[in-house]
């Protein structure tokens, strides 16, 4: 996929996890190198763990990392995107 001129933060999707969101759609976004910040605060604990486990495998496959901002708010992105100053600044500002 060709990189755009947008920063990692500008390409980031912010998602509040619900039953209407398909984990496979999230995986597709990650495989297209789109960073995701997902809030699991109002989502089922067991389902949250299943989605996190699944997306962690996708992140591993695309040479990325998962970073915790808060207990139930996680960033899924490539290592390159996590080094981007714009995304790093956001994470640092909101990390507990």
Contacts of 96 (CB under 8 A, 6+ apart): 69, 70, 71
* Residue 40 in domain: yes
DSSP state of 12: P
User: Can you tell me the distance from the alpha carbon of 19 to that of 50, in angstroms, rounded to the nearest whole number?
Assistant: 13
User: What is the total count of domains within the chain?
Assistant: 1
CA angle 48, 50, 55 (to 5 degrees): 95
The model's pTM: 0.92
Report pLDDT digits (tens) over 56-95: 999 999 999 999 999 999 999 999 999 999 999 999 999 9
* Residue 66 in domain: yes
User: Can you tell me the distance from the alpha carbon of 64 to that of 37, in angstroms, rounded to the nearest whole number?
Assistant: 13
The CATH number of the domain where 60 resides is what?
3.30.110.150
**Confidence class for position 5, pLDDT limits 50, 70, 90:** confident
* Residue 3 in domain: no
Which residue range is the domain that position 22 belongs to?
8-94
**Tokens linked to 33:** 């190198």
- State whether residue 6 is helix, strand or coil: coil
* Residue 1 in domain: no
């Amino acid at each position: 996929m060709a990189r755009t001129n947008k920063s990692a933060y500008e390409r980031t999707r912010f998602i509040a996890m619900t039953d209407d969101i398909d984990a496979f759609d999230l995986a597709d976004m990650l495989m297209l190198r789109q960073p995701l910040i997902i809030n699991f605060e109002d989502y089922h604990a067991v389902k949250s763990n299943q989605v996190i486990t699944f997306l962690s495998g996708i992140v591993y496959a695309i040479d990325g990392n998962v970073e915790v901002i808060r207990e139930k708010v996680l960033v899924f992105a490539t290592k390159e995107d996590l080094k981007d100053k714009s995304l790093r600044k956001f994470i640092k500002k909101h990390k507990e």
